[in-house]
Structures are given as structure tokens and as C-alpha cells.
Structure 1
Amino acid sequence: MSDSSTSVELADSLRGLVTRLSPGDRLPSSRELVQQYRVSPVTVARAIAVLAAEGAVVTRPGSGTYVALRARRDRQAADTAWQTVALTDRAVDTRLVADPPAPAPPGTITLDGGYVHRSLQPTRALSAALARAARRPDAWDRAPANGLSTLRTVFAEQAGGAVTADDVLITAGGQSALSIAFRAIAAPGSPVLVESPGYPGALAAARAAGLRPVPVPLDADGLRPDLLADAFAMTGARVLYCQPAFQNPTGAVLAPGRRGQILDVARASGAFVVEDDFARHLGHGGPVPGPLVADDRDGTVVHVTSLTKSTAPSLRIGALIARGPVMERMRAVRLVDDFFVSRPLQEAALELLSSPAYPRHLRSLAAALRDRSGALAAAVTREIPDATLAGLPGGGLHLWVRLPAGADDTAVAGAARQHGVTVSAGSRYFAAEPPAAHLRLGFAATADLAELDEGVRRLAAALREVRPAGR
């Protein structure tokens, strides 16, 4: 090795030497290495330091350098069993929100997706918005902890009522907003009332915050106020989580006569209503009910909204809307979490919302979702005639299907995957025992209507496989 050789090259040579030695063996002395590799003492010292930092060798002043005891265990799994004791019982269950452990095989049709297909995303408008945002001179500056004031103003205007920009906190999507709200409002161990069936991501976020979800049934008109009052009285809960518009998974819309009742029951119980308005921009062309927060005068409602569902999965921009001390608490939680949401992403969202392309996209999306919803419902009726549809929703991304008697939703979902179509087992949407077997079928994540038809045919074949004729 020449005098110009670097310490990096020497370190590579010494790694080879270490692999040929046994743990505890002594390496040649620095003087021997200088002579053998024809390098300077400084180069030797640097190379030894690199190997020591990697844990391959240990140096003992006055004695020499030795192969570390763990040198031959580099590729073996570490013993992390001690962490089970240290972490106690605060496990976070992601099974309700995470993808299956193994990716679906190529050619699998997605009927369990929670986002719109790439062909339905405003990708060109998003790219243009991001490019414009990146050209701003302050694009990479630190963003305000509450979010850009102009973007907060847009969310306030969308909410309506007396909501102002000061009532808005920008978040990294709707799921982040839910996590912030649950941790800010309720103490670990507290009950939180949830719709049954309801959004699995909310159940997961509540449990991760240490809360105990308590189910409250809904019907075709949404959450039942009479049962809600009973649930508040029996549990002492101070939080209700609900989706009044195009509820996931049923598609139900809270009836006009129940909107005020829900708020009145919550106020009488001294409780907050966490309103998840995820489908604000997912209407199918008909009327979309206004958010509960627009009618709230007393700070009862904590409103959650997001741009992600109507645009693209990676536009992680959402908002929390609230009044009073609860907003200060949520601001504190999000500040501790991550300081602020990426400024370029906020700027891009603002560019998109301010462009003529966005309302055009929403009109196009509404028509596409309406067509897909109808096509999926027709396919289910044709291919699985003994299944029961909850109804054709006026918005959202899913159909809620009750399976024929005797069917097991988990078994059907597993068999469907084997037949090349993914669906969501209905049991994931219940905080307690489900009253019947259901599937949630999505119509927005497939490439086209033909895929929807084929997906239902595959699902019907899977159902026949796990539920033989005559049952």
C-alpha cells in the first residue's frame, strides 16, 4: 500500500483481517501496521478509530487493539427481549389501520382502498402547485406552529359559520389531527364514545392515546341521540367521536333533526364532539350537509378535516378547528409532536386550493365517484344477490355490505385475497362484538369500472368457496 493510501482503504483491509481472527485476538501493533501497509501513524489511528466506532475492535491503552467479542455476531439478531419489560403494557395496535403484512400479488384488484385511484387524482394540478410553491423565496423557511395564516383562512371559510383563521390549526393530515385531539382532550384510561360501526383509524388512535372506545349504534339516519344520552350517562365519557357526513363505513348522513340533538346531549354531558369531516369534498354531486362546527356556539365541537382523501395520499394536509382552551391544549400537543407542518406542502396546498383547477377536479371527482358507486352496487346485487347493501351513499368512497347468513367476514376477506381481490372485513369497524358479518367495499381505488365488475366476480367466487351451497 502506498503512502497516498487513505485511512478508509486501510480500514477496509483491517475489516478483512478481523473476519479471519477470533474474538479477543490481538491485531498487529500500530508500528507493525505502519510498516506492513506503508502508511503514516495518523492513517493507522484513523482506521482503528473507524473500526472501534463500528464495534469491530476494542482498544486497550498500553496493551493494543483486539477483535471485539461481538465481531462475529454482526449479522445475528440482537437480543432485545429486555424491551418487553421496559415498555410495559402500552402496546400500539396498528392492525386496524396498517396494510396486510405481505403485499398483494400482482393483478390483485383493490376493493379495500381508502384513497382515490391515481387516475382520479389531480396530479397535474398538484405538480404545478408544488412547483409554484417551491419557487417562493420563503418556501423553506420555518412555518408558523399554527400553520400559514392564508391556509388557515381557507379552512375557516370552508367550515363556515363564525369560524375564523384563529380557530384553525394546520395538521399533517386527518389521522394526525385525530391523534392530537384525543390526546389533548381526554386522559389515559378515559372512555370515548364512538359510532358503531365506525372508522378503524379512530379506534386505533383512541386506543394509542390510552382511551377506551365505547360503541354507540347508528342507523340509516346516523348516530342515535337516545342511545347516545344513555352512553354518556352510563360511562361518564367526555368525548364523542363521529362522522356526520357520509360516515365510514356505512355512508350514513346524520339526519337534520338529529344534528341539534347530538350537540344538545353533548353539552348537557359537558362533553366534546370530535367531528371527523373526512368526506367534505367527496360528495357525488348532490347536497353535502354543512359541518356541525358551523352551528356550534359554545366550543362543543372539535372539527377535523383533510385534503388528502379528495386529492392524493401524500398531500398530508389537514386541520383542526376549535374554540377556547381546548384549542390551546391541541396547539401545545402538536408543537411538542413535530413543531410545524412542512411549509412547502402547506404552500402547495394553498396553491392548489386557490387555483381554478381544484373546483374543476372536485366536479370531475364527484361524477366519477357517483358512477363507480352505482356500478359497484349493481355488481354486488347481480353477483351476490343474497347480500344486503346498506344503501347507495351520496358521498364517500365505500359501500357497506351485509353478508349472507352463515358467512364469516374474516374468512371471506382471506379467501377473497386468494382469489385476487382485497376487501375489508366488517369486524374491523366495531369496537365491540359485531351484530352481523359485513364487508366494506371501496369503489375509488380501482383503475376503472371494468375492474370493479371483475373484483366483485372474484369476491363472489371466494364467498362460494367459504360458504358452500345450502348454507
Structure 2
Amino acid sequence: MNDSSTSEGLLTVLRGLVRELSPGDRLPSSRELIDRHRVGPGTVSRAIAQLTAEGVVVTRPGSGTYVAPRARRTDAVIDTGWQTVALADRSVDAQSLADSAAPDGAIRLDGGYLHRSLQPTRALTAALARAARRPDAWDRAPAVGLSSLRTVFATLADADVRADDVLITAGGQSGLSIAFRAIAAPGSPVLVESPSYPGALAAARAAGLSPVPVPIDEYGVRPDLLAEAFARSGSRVFYCQPTYQNPTGTVLSDERRQQVLAVARAAGAFVIEDDFARFLHHGGVVPRPLLSADRDGTVVYLTSLTKPAAPSLRIGALIARGPVLERLRAIRQVDDFFVARPLQEAALELLSSPSWDRHLRGLAVALRERCGALVNALPAGWEVEQVPAGGLHLWVRLPAGADDAAAAAEARQAGVIVSPGGRFFATEKPAAWLRLSFAATADVADLAVAAGRLR
């Protein structure tokens, strides 16, 4: 039994004991708990600390641990109907981002993060431990982020930018929210690829913006349709993922990269480049970002360590030049002052360690293997138009007449959780699609089992 399950087991026992005792009654001593339940002192200390934090027990040094006074409980129902009027029409739809509970034994192909088996857990633990030992680890961090970490992100961007152009954010989603609010006024349109990342659609709508879809093909967004969308909508911002796009895995072609920048410049518009998958390649050469060809501050660049490392490493970066950077900085500071320094220090330790490069090399091999395994195991009639060279997902077209929502529900009944394609479109969907993650399972064997259930 691991430490986590041992602690949970002791907590369950102690909670049951507290329910049987009266307020003021004394719990068994730590030594008695150790002997009775055959656990270590650390397990007992953690359990007592957890119950103390919950207000269930109180500890008296030199005396023992006692049941705390019962908290008053009420079953009265309060009337909150008035809030509907007070809140007005500013609802935030986060349903497309929520993780639904999976039935026992289900295999998740709907995740947006690496499975724990693919994360650099040891390197992360070591980095966080080194960061915590710094004498200034708990000091306030600069609002724009640690200078040394900004320097690293400027280097990783593979473009002619400086540390002063970098703003540290609490992950990619936070960066998206900041960028949309900084660039576009509420009520204005924002152009997005179609299909697009649901988190971007949700962030844009939460900022009061109206997503306007621009179709993509196997070479990325179509510049002719992008120019038409700018002209028709009057939008001043285009959000895109040029490299290993989510959900399709598409890479914007070199020719179109230049055209997209030219179209945006002609429209006097910004391009928000979400480079979330730069570290998620499957081997080979990764295209340089749009930022590398930007000479007049058109591109606002966003990247993050969350996808290639772990969900809770909420560290990202925005890179911009000109007045827009000051707007980004102001919103970043107003939101929550600064990103927690220990997390920034841990990110810096991780990126500066040789283990980071080793992790990325191993990750590329693992993702390529998983992607190929899932492609080869898909049911007949499920079409992958483009096998991605990077990223975490397959974009699968279902047979004509199929319904993606119904297919996802049926897959769930079979013990496989998938993402229906409708949530990736800002407006109507042109066909039935599913997004399948090949990075959210423990190993390749689970992918084979999942594909078997889908068949």
C-alpha cells in the first residue's frame, strides 16, 4: 500500500471514530494509532493535520488530540433568484472545458494532458525541491515574472525577442484570457480557425467577444478566406495554432505563414499565436513560429510548459512588442499581482536541467509510437485525413450520417471516453468528428483495448 492510500485509510478510520465520540473527547495517542493500525509516524501526523485543518479535531500540545465542537449546520434553502437580474447577461460557458467523471474501468481518450507515465515526475520533484531551498523562494516575484525565466522563454521562442518582451503567466489558458481582454473590446469579433481549441472559444466568449470561424485545410488556415473574414467582420484579432493545431494536428505551411502575416498587417490586426505544442513534436524539424517572421509587432505569442510537463506546472509566457505589451502587463498584474515564485523557480530549474532535454527526446518517441498504434487500431470507416507530426490528438472523421455526440455517448457506454467534435466549432459543424487523445492513457496496451471497445 502506498503512502497516499495508507493516509486515506487512516483518515477514514479517524473520521468514523470522531463521529462516535462527543465534542471534547480525546482521541487515541499517536503511539496508540501507530501500534493499532500499523502505520508510520508520518502517516499519523498527516492524518491529524488534515483533520485539524478541516476543524474536525483540535490539538493541545502536551495533552493530546480532541474532538472539536460540532459546527452548526442548517438545511434552510436561501432564495438566490435575485442574482439572475443582478448578474445580467454575462454568463460564462465552461462546460466544454469540464472533465466529466469517468465510470470505473473506463479508458480516457479525451484528455488534454500527458498521462502521469509520460510526465517527467522525478525531474519535476527535484526541480521543486531545489527551488524551495532558495533563500528567497517565498519572496514576492516581479509582476512580469523572474528575469531569468523570461530570458529562457525568449531563447526558446526561436525569434528575435528579448527578455523584456516576455510576460510570465499562470499557464496557457491564463495567457489566452489576458490576451483576448487586452486586444479586443467586449462585443467585438475575433477570428478563429475552424475547428479550433475549445478553451480559446470559451475564453473569447468570457471576454465578451464573438468567435468568427475561418476554415482550415491540410495546409492550415486559408489566407483568402482569412482576408475575407477580416473585411466582412471588421475584426482586429486572429487566434491560431500554426504548429500541430488542436484538434487537427495541422501545421500551417511555410508559404501560408507569410501570407497570414501579410493579411493581418493589411487589416491592421493582431495575430495571437498559440504555440502550445512546440515541445510535443514526434521527431523531426519543428517549424519556426510566426513570431520569428514578425517585424512590426503583429504577433502576440503564447506558449506554456503545462502540456509537455504536467498539468499543475501552470507556467506560461506571453511575448509581445509595443503598446500591446503594456496592456498585457497591466491586465496580468490586476488579475493576481504575480505568478507564485516557487513555481517560477521550479520551472527555471527544470528548463535548466539536462533532464529536460532527455525528457523531450523520450517524449517524442513515445508520442510517435502511441499515435501510430492508435491510427492502426481504429475501427473501419473512421478516417484520419492527416496523421499528425506532433501534438497529443487524432482528429477522426466518422462515416457519413453518423452523429458525433451519439457516438461519444455510445463509446462511453463501452468504457471509452472520447471528445465529440461539435465542441471544437464556433458555429455549425460541417461533419461528424471525434478527437481522440493518444497521450492520456497509461500505455500503448490501453490504446489497443480502447480501440477494441470502439470497434
TM-score by length of 2: 0.84
Tell me which residue corresponds to 1:39.
none
Q: Is the 8 A contact 1:390 1:399 kept in 2?
A: no
| Distance in 2 (alpha carbons) for counterparts of 1:235 and 1:392 | 33
Structure 2 residue matching 1:363: 3-state secondary structure: helix
Tell me which residue corresponds to 1:68.
none
Tell me which residue corresponds to 1:36.
none
Runs (5+) with no aligned partner, structure 2 = 1-22, 25-68
Which of 446, 455, 461 in structure 1 is aligned with 2:450? 455
Q: Is the 8 A contact 1:144 1:340 kept in 2?
A: yes
Counterpart of 2:410 in structure 1: which amino acid?
A
How far apart are 1:160 and its partner, in Å? 2.2
Structure 2 residue matching 1:441: 3-state secondary structure: strand
| Distance in 2 (alpha carbons) for counterparts of 1:458 and 1:189 | 45
Matches within 5 A, 1:215-230: 215-230=213-228
| Distance in 2 (alpha carbons) for counterparts of 1:438 and 1:130 | 40
TM-score by length of 1: 0.81
Tell me which residue corresponds to 1:178.
176
Tell me which residue corresponds to 1:79.
79
Matches within 5 A, 1:106-145: 106-145=104-143
Counterpart of 1:179 in structure 2: which amino acid?
S
How far apart are 1:391 and its partner, in Å? 1.4
The size of the alignment, in residue pairs, is 389
| Distance in 2 (alpha carbons) for counterparts of 1:183 and 1:431 | 18
Which of 391, 415, 427 in structure 1 is aligned with 2:422? 427
Matched, 1:98 2:98: yes
In terms of mean alpha carbon deviation, does 75-84 or 176-185 score higher?
A: 75-84
| Distance in 2 (alpha carbons) for counterparts of 1:287 and 1:110 | 30
Which of 252, 255, 263 in structure 1 is aligned with 2:253? 255
How far apart are 1:241 and its partner, in Å? 0.2
Structure 1 residue matching 2:96: 3-state secondary structure: coil
How far apart are 1:185 and its partner, in Å? 0.4
| Distance in 2 (alpha carbons) for counterparts of 1:401 and 1:458 | 16
How far apart are 1:385 and its partner, in Å? 1.5
Tell me which residue corresponds to 1:276.
274
Structure 2 residue matching 1:313: 3-state secondary structure: coil
How far apart are 1:162 and its partner, in Å? 1.4
Query: What do the CA deviations read for 1:28-65 (whole angstroms, capped 9, x no partner)?
Result: xxxxxxxxxxxxxxxxxxxxxx99xx9x8xxxxxxxxx
Tell me which residue corresponds to 2:342.
344
Counterpart of 1:149 in structure 2: which amino acid?
S
Q: Is the 8 A contact 1:386 1:403 kept in 2?
A: yes
Runs (5+) with no aligned partner, structure 1 = 1-11, 14-49, 57-72, 461-471
Q: Is the 8 A contact 1:246 1:253 kept in 2?
A: yes
Structure 2 residue matching 1:393: 3-state secondary structure: coil
How far apart are 1:388 and its partner, in Å? 1.1
| Distance in 2 (alpha carbons) for counterparts of 1:78 and 1:285 | 57
Matched, 1:402 2:397: yes
Counterpart of 2:360 in structure 1: which amino acid?
L
How far apart are 1:405 and its partner, in Å? 1.0
How far apart are 1:286 and its partner, in Å? 1.2
Structure 1 residue matching 2:205: 3-state secondary structure: helix
Tell me which residue corresponds to 1:363.
361
How far apart are 1:414 and its partner, in Å? 1.1
Structure 1 residue matching 2:321: 3-state secondary structure: coil
Larger radius of gyration: 1
